[in-house]
Structure 1
Amino acid sequence: MKGRQILLDHLDGREAAALMVDGRLDDLLIDSDAPRPGTVYRAVTDKPVKGQGGIFLKTPDGAAYLRGVKGIGQGETLLVQVTGYAEPGKAIPVSHKVLFKSRYAIVTPDAPGLNLSRSIRDDDMRDELLALAHDGMEGSAMGLILRSASAGAAADDVSEDIAAMRALAETVTDDNGTGPETLTEGDGPHVLAWRDWAETADVVTKAGSFETHGVLDAIDDAQSPRVSLGAGASMYVEATRALIAVDVNTGADGSFAAGSKANLSCARQLPAALRVRGLGGQVTIDLAPMPKKERKTFEAALRAALRKDDVDTVMAGWTPLGHFELQRKRARLPLAEVL
C-alpha cells in the first residue's frame, strides 16, 4: 500500500504504535516496564564517580546516573529527566537539562529565548509563529522552541500546546519536595506517535489493526537479522554484547557496480532497520566492496537518511579496515527484549 499509515494498537497487552510507509514498517514503538524517556524525577544525589564527572542518583525506579556535573554533593535534591534506556545491569541515564516536549512546542526551563525550527523558512509564517510564542510565554523566564509541525497547524492548536507545556513545566519546576519522586511520566507510544510522526498520514485506531494491516508480519520479519536491499542484495543487522554489527552482501550480482548499489541501499534503509529493532550504541558496518572514490557518495546518502531519523546518531567515520562506524543513542529498548 502506498503512502503513510499510523496504526495505534496493543501488542501482547502493551500499548504500541507502528508507522508504515509504502507498505513497509518504518518505525515501531512498544511500551515496556522500564521508565519511559521523558520521565522527570525529583532525585537525591548518592555517590559521585571520581574522575568521570558523574554521579549516581536515587529515584523511585532505582539508581540513575547523571554525567557532566560538578560541585554537587551527596544528599542534594535535583530535577532530572530520563534520556534513554539503561543497558542490562546499569543505571538509568538521566539529564539535568529538563525539556517539556509536545507536538508543536518544546518548553526549555534552563534555556531562555524564543526559537523556531530551522525547517520553517517562510518569513510570514515565522512572524505569525513568533507572535504566538511571545503571547504564550509572556511573563515567563523559560525558553520555547516551536517545532516544524507548528507551521502547518491551526493557530489555536499551537497556542493550546504552548500553554499546556508551559503549565506542566511550571508545575514541575516549582516542586519543593525532598525525597525521590516521579513528577511526570514520559509519553507512551500512542502519544509519541501523535507527537513525533507529524507528517500527513492515515491514522488507524481500530483494535486488531496490526494484524489486518500487516504490522505483525513486519514485526516477525524484524526479528530476523536479514534486511533485503533489493536485486538479491541484503544486509544483516545483529546485536552483539559489544556493538551492533551490520554486514552488507551483494548476493549473486557479480557486476562491478553491485557493491556500490548495495551500500547505497544500506545507507537509505539502515536508520529504519535500527529504529524498528530498537538498537543503539556502537554500530559497525562491514560494507560490500566498492571503490574508495564512492565513499563520499555513501556518506552523503547515509547522512540524508539520518537527517530524517529522530534518534541522535553520530557518524564516526571509516576504520583502517574499511568499516564505517556510527554511535547511536539508546533511545529504544531492543525489540528482542520487549517481545
Structure 2
Amino acid sequence: MKGRTILLDHLGGQEAAALMVDGRLEDFLIDDPEKARVGAIYRAICDRPLKGQGGMMVRLPDGESGFLRQGKGLKPGQALLVQVTGQAEDGKAVPVTQRVLFKSRYAIVTPGAPGLNISRQIIDEETRGFLRVLAEDMMPGEGAGLILRSSCAAADEDAIAEDIAAMRDLAAAVLNDADGSEPEALTEGDGPHVFAWREWTAPATVETHSGCFEEQGVLDELERLQVAVVPLGDADMWVEATRALVTVDVNTRGDTSPAAALKANLAAARALPRELRLRGLGGQVVVDFAPMSKAHRRQLEQSLRATFKADPIETSLVGWTAMGLFEMQRKRERFPSSALLRKFL
C-alpha cells in the first residue's frame, strides 16, 4: 500500500500504534503497564546525593526511585517537580529531569524558561508573524515560555489556540501541586495513541478499528523484529541487545568483491536508525562494520550523520575505537519491544 498510514490498535490488551509508509513499518509503539511513561511528571522527594557524580536519587510514587543527573543545591527531603526522560533497565532508577515540558501536537509550554519561539522549519514570514501574534495573545505575563512546533504551519488557528490553552492550563495546575511531603504522580505521560497524534503529524490515513494491525500487515512486520538478523540485499546485519550494550554486526555473506564491504556498510547505516527505533533499543551501541579501507570511513560517517539526523530519537555518534568498532550513544526513549512482543503476540 502506497502512502502513510497510522494504525491505532491493541496487542494483548495493551495500547499500541504503528506507522506504515508504503507498506513498510517505520515506527511502532506499545505500552508497558509496569513502566513509567516517558513524559510523566511527578512530585519527587530528594533522597540522597550521589557524591562524585553530582546527581541526586529521588523518591517517586509506588516505591520507585529516580535518578536526577543535576542535583547541585538540592537537599534530602526537598520536594521538586521532575519529568521522566527515558526508560530504566530492570533494577535501575528511572531517569528524570527538573526541566519539565508540557508537550502537545502544536505547542510546548516551558515553565521557568520564558520566551516565545517558533520552529525554524516554518520559513514563511507571514505564517511566522501570525503565529507570533497568536503566541503573545495566548501567553501573557512571564514565568513560562512557549514553543510553537512545525506542525503549526498547516494547522487551523483555533486548533493551535486550543492546544496552547490546554498546555498552559495543565502547566499551571501541575505547578500548583508541586509542594508536598510525599511523592505523587501529577501526569501519567502520553500513551501510544496520543503520542502518534502528537508526533506523527505528516498527512496520513488513520485506521482505528480493532484488527487493523492484522489487516495492514503490522503483525507480520512485528514477527520480523523477534529475529536478530536484518537482510540488506546481498548482505545482512545482526542487531542484538545485551545488558551492557547493543551490538550490531555487519556481514557481506559470500560477496568478496572489492566494493562489497562499503556497499554493505552503507546499507547498514541507512537501515540502523529504523531498526533501533522499531526494536526500542538505546544506550551504548557498538557497530562492527564489515572490514573496509580506512579511506572509506569518512563516506560511511557522512551516511550515518544524515540518517540519524532524520531520526526522532537523540543519538550521539561517538566515533571509532582502536579496534575499528564504531560507537554511539542513543537515548533510551522506548520500551525494548522484543520482550513485550513475546508477551503480547
TM-score by length of 2: 0.95
1:1-339 aligned at under 5 Å gives the runs 1-33=1-33, 34-61=35-62, 62-175=64-177, 176-230=179-233, 232-339=234-341
1:44 Cα deviation from its structure 2 partner: 0.9
Q: Could you tell me how far apart the structure 2 residues matched to 1:40 and 1:279 are?
A: 23
User: 1:112: Cα distance to partner?
Assistant: 1.1
Partners of 1:194 and 1:63 lie apart in 2 by: 30
Cα distance in structure 1, aligned partners of 2:265 and 2:151:
32
1:72 is paired with a residue of what secondary structure? coil
Contact 2:225/2:338 (CA < 8 Å) preserved in 1? no
CA distance in 2, matches of 1:266, 1:310: 18
Does the aligned pair in 1 maintain the 2:115–2:144 contact within 8 Å?
yes
| Corresponding letter in the other structure for 1:211 | E
Distance between the aligned counterparts of 1:229 and 1:22, measured in 2? Answer: 18
Deviation (angstroms), 1:114: 0.7
List, as ranges, runs of 4+ consecutive aligned residues in structure 1 with deviation greater than 3 Å. Answer: none
One-letter identity of the residue aligned with 1:312: E
Aligned residue for 2:75, secondary structure, equals coil
Q: 1:177 deviation in Å?
A: 3.1
Q: For residue 112 of structure 2, what is the amino acid of its counterpart? A: D
Q: What is the number of equivalent residue pairs in this alignment?
A: 338
Q: Secondary structure of 1:284's match? A: strand
User: 1:241 Cα shift?
Assistant: 2.0
Instruction: Quote how far apart the aligned CAs of 1:289 are.
Output: 2.3
- The one-letter code of the counterpart of 1:3 is G
Q: Deviations over 1:278-302 (max 9, x none)?
A: 1001001111122222222212221
**TM-score (ref. length: structure 1):** 0.97
Q: Supply the AA of the counterpart residue of 1:178.
A: S
Partner of 1:206: helix, strand, or coil? coil
Q: Distance in 1 between matches of 2:152 and 2:28?
A: 24
Q: Which blocks of at least 5 consecutive residues in structure 1 are unaligned?
A: none
Residue-by-residue CA offset, 1:129-166 (whole Å, 9 max, x unaligned): 11121111122420111111111111111111111111
* Deviation at residue 200 of structure 1 after TM alignment: 1.5
Whichever residue aligns with residue 155 of structure 1, its letter is E
- Cα deviation code 1:38-77 (max 9, x no counterpart): 1110111111111111111111131111111212111110
- Other structure's SS at 2:317 match: strand
The CA deviation string for residues 73-98 of structure 1, in whole angstroms up to 9 with x for no partner, is 11110000011111110111110110
Q: 1:121: Cα distance to partner?
A: 1.7
C-alpha RMSD of matched pairs (Å): 1.2
Stretch deviating more after TM superposition (19-28 or 248-257) = 248-257
- Which deviates more, 193-202 or 290-299? 290-299
Q: Residue 256 of structure 2: SS of its match in structure 1? A: coil
1:195 and 1:108 map into 2 onto residues whose CA distance is: 17
Report the Cα offset of residue 334 of structure 1.
Answer: 0.8
Structure-1 separation of matches of 2:135 and 2:150? 14
> What is the Cα deviation at residue 252 of structure 1?
2.8
